Structure formats: C-alpha cells, structure tokens
Amino acid sequence: MLQYLIILLDDTSVSYCHYENPKTERNLISLTNLKAGIFFAMKQNLMIQFVYPDYELSEEYRTVIESIDHHRIMPANCAVPSAEVIVFDKWDEISEKLSGYAFDAVCVVRVKKNELFQDEEKLFALLDNFSKVNVVLTDADTFSSADFETYRQKLSRLADFMTGQYHRGRFPQFNLLTDRILLDRMNNCNAGVENITLAPNGKFYICPAFYYENESDSIGNPSKGIEIANSQLYRLEYAPLCRRCDAYQCRRCVWLNRKTTSEVNTPSHEQCVIAHLERNASREWLKEAADRFSNKEIAEIHYLDPFDIIEKF
C-alpha cells in the first residue's frame, strides 16, 4: 500500500541512494506538475518527501510546497537547519558542513567503498553531530572478495566507536549497526510498493533511479494514475530468498537488483554479502550493547549469501 510520494523538484535534485544523478542542467518542475503531484498525494493520503536541488527555490515555489505536510531531503551544501534529511553527496563535504543542522535530522552519506576504506573516521564526526546516520555505498555492485574482508574490518572499527559513544551516554542510530538490532522484520526501500516518485516531467517512476536511467520507464502520471507492470514482483512475498532472510536492515534496492541480476526481486551476490556482513557485525556489537538492548537477540549463521545454502533456505 502506498504511503509516500517522492517529488523531485529539479532534474539536479540530490541523489540520496545508490544511483548517480547524471543530469547537470537545471530543469525545475513546473508549478502545474508540482500542484498536480500535491493534489494526487492529498487524494491518496500520502506523505510527500520533496527532494531538493542545490539552489534556493523562489517564494512562489516555497508557498506551494508549504501548502501541505512534507519532509525535505536536501543536499548538505544548501540545506536549511530544520531539514528532516541532510544528504552528503560528496565524501569531502563532511568535514566542511557539520554546523547548524538540527541534531535530530537524518544524515545520509553517499560514499564509494575506497573512500570509506581509506577514511572511515569521517563517519565518527557525523555520529557526533546527528542522531541518525545512514551510509549508502554507491558502488556496492563492484565489491570483490578482498573488499568484503576490508568491509568486515571497518564495520568492527565502527562498532568500537559506537561502543565508546554508548559509554559516554550518547545513543545515535547508525544504519550499518543499529538498524538490524532495532528491527524485527524487513525494512527495505519498498520502491514501487510503499513509495513512488514524481519526476520534473510530471510522470511517475518506481524511484528516482528509474527516471534518471530511462525517462521512458514511466508508470503513470497524476491524472491517469499508476500502472506498474508485474507489480507483484516489487513485493517482499514475491522475493523467494529475501522473504526468508533476516538481514532486516538490507535496503533490497530494486533498481540495483535490476541492474545486477535483471530481476527486481533478486539481489546480487554483492548486495547479499554486504547486508550479511552488517548483520553479523550488529550481532557482535550487540554483545557490547546488551544492557541497552536487553531483549534483543541475533542468531548465529554460517553463510553470507543465501544462494550458498539455497537448498536448505
């Protein structure tokens, strides 16, 4: 059941997930398309998430946006202090843009594996300044066996830092470690099921990545409604492996699935192993934070990719 409508305010709106935004020329959504999207959300009782570009909108646009309850996803280089989601789209921005934001804002940081491997301490600063930090690996599909081992080591180091935070009485949420502990069921992206995207061209898409990859991949518009081919494939119950998996924090990105396996309901080996490394790191760290999560338990497993035990799974 749909719960959210994501509205890209411009072709250059910040990316907040795995996809890259290749568009560099501004193309602001028309007021007509913006109002149509808001009206559609009102009729369907959807919460709107506006995704902002890196420039200030006119008063006319701000007035329309403020006409309905919403959340703002904004790039760090121009985010207002009260924005609900702050996106660090460039690793180098982190040390420069850490003041003035509300502590309870969600921080999203997009990072390539080598950037994280070389300087994971940048995340320490984010965890000191935000109550919730979500890391998105933008090149997850390129991980090698050696990368998996390096990632395991980095997760262990990040867990040590989180232990120090807890000893100081600070309890930030960190998607790579705390999400699996806090969840008791899958909490995936759910694009195409719980949320869809309205692009500046006035058309609906499964998510922003589908728009940026192929504008003809539309699933409807506010006047005609939504039509998703094989819509059941976006649902968890139609994902044979994922529906039985307990790496609950996995994003299960349907765009990344399609890119790597040609099936929206089938994740790649890389996505599965990364998710299970995070799951196992959460399990180990839970031993250090047991007093905070006394009623939580994560079972021990002996695989990183469910495909490895598919007969039993």
pLDDT in tens, 218-242: 999 999 999 999 999 999 999 988 9
Local confidence band at 91 (pLDDT 50, 70, 90 cut-offs) = confident
Report CA dihedral (7, 8, 14, 15) to the nearest 10 degrees: 70
Q: What does the pLDDT read at residue 97?
A: 64
Region of poorest pLDDT, from 60-64, 71-75, 300-304: 300-304
Total domains present in the chain: 1
The upper half-sphere exposure of residue 190, i.e. CA atoms within 13 Å in the direction of its Cβ, equals: 16
Report if residue 283 sits inside a domain: no
DSSP β-ladder status, 106-111 and 132-137 = parallel
Q: d(Cα 81, Cα 31) in Å, to the nearest integer? A: 25
Percentage of the chain with pLDDT > 90?
A: 81
Report if residue 231 sits inside a domain: no
Local confidence band at 311 (pLDDT 50, 70, 90 cut-offs) = low
Q: What does the pLDDT read at residue 280?
A: 97
- CATH number for the domain harbouring residue 51: 3.20.20.70
Q: What does the pLDDT read at residue 96?
A: 62
Local confidence band at 290 (pLDDT 50, 70, 90 cut-offs) = confident
Q: What does the pLDDT read at residue 79?
A: 80
Q: What does the pLDDT read at residue 92?
A: 83
3, 5, 10, 4: which is closest to 36 by C-alpha? Answer: 5
pLDDT(54) > 80: yes
92, 58, 57, 60: which is closest to 77 by C-alpha? Answer: 92
pLDDT digits (tens, 9 = 90+) for 2-40: 999 999 999 999 999 999 999 999 999 999 999 999 999
Percentage of the chain with pLDDT > 70?
A: 97
Report if residue 233 sits inside a domain: no
pLDDT(125) > 50: yes
| Model confidence pTM above 0.85 | yes
Report if residue 15 sits inside a domain: yes
Report if residue 119 sits inside a domain: yes
pLDDT(1) > 90: no
Report if residue 56 sits inside a domain: yes
Report if residue 49 sits inside a domain: yes
Q: d(Cα 307, Cα 120) in Å, to the nearest integer? A: 30
Report if residue 251 sits inside a domain: no
Tell me which residue range forms the domain holding 164. 4-187
Q: What does the pLDDT read at residue 208?
A: 98
Q: 210 with 255: CB under 8 angstroms?
A: yes
> Which has the higher per-residue pLDDT, 200 or 125?
200
Q: What does the pLDDT read at residue 313?
A: 47
DSSP H helices, 139-187, are 145-167, 179-182
Q: d(Cα 112, Cα 140) in Å, to the nearest integer? A: 8
